[in-house]
Amino acid sequence: MSASKEVTFEMWRLQERRCYFTMSSAGAGIGYALATVEAELTTMETRVFLLTILLWAISFLAGLKLLTVVSEAMRISRLNVIEGKRFSSSPDALTALREVMHESTEKLGETNKFVGTVQLISLIGGAISFVFLKIDVSKAVPELLLSFQ
């Protein structure tokens, strides 16, 4: 296998690892939030809590979709290597096959970017909303502003 193909496979593997890490972060966040929830939440705090859980769940589900996209892209890349060897005697068939595979991987790359962005933004959004749930912002902000004077 050529060096460029090995680099491609390694890039997909790194994307897969990042996805697993983000999914585990979202799962751990959900578990921690559920374990530390207080029984006496106000209506607003309950809404923020549910928003936190929702955002982390979206992050986790986006990770599942991302893994599907990554595995499909890896399958197409491997197929490109295998079929490239098989069709090496027929340059026209090989060119047509590579064009189809290139279009497929290009679409998967766009999906990969979108889903990866959704996964990361929802993870960060859930973390920020969880901080607002745990910190009483109405008390913390005035105290913070007074400390600068």
pLDDT for 122-149, tens place per residue?
999 999 999 888 887 677 777 767 777 6
Closest CA to 62 of 105, 112, 15: 112
State residue 81's pLDDT score.
66
pLDDT for 35-89, tens place per residue?
988 888 888 888 989 999 999 999 999 999 888 888 887 777 777 666 666 656 6
